[in-house]
Amino acid sequence: QKRSKLARIAGGVYDRGGVVAAVCHGPAGLLGVTLADGKPLVAGKKVAAFTNEEEQAVGLAETVPFLLADALEEKGATHVPG
């Protein structure tokens, strides 16, 4: 699978000890980031993001391509409601 330029840059920054962060729906951009060891950046991390219930409350649960909380957990993150 071809990684985006964002995913390559973010993974490299983190692998070199840097900080990678996102806000709002930005954690969606972290889903494709893998580290040098092949693991997802978010695996084993606590990540705050919109909950499925919040997406439903604003009427976007059927509009967005995926529910961010579910996608983060599928990659091994612990989703923390933000």
Say which of 25, 62, 73, 74 is annotated catalytic: 25
SS3 content of the chain, % helix, strand, coil (to 5): 35, 10, 50
Active site residue 24: yes
Active site residue 79: no
Q: What CA–CA distance (Å, rounded) separates 44 from 47? A: 9
Quick check: is 25 catalytic?
yes
Q: Exactly one of 53, 55, 73, 74 is catalytic; which is it?
A: 55
| List 24, 54, 62, 74, catalytic entry | 24
Among all residues, which ones are annotated catalytic?
24-25, 55
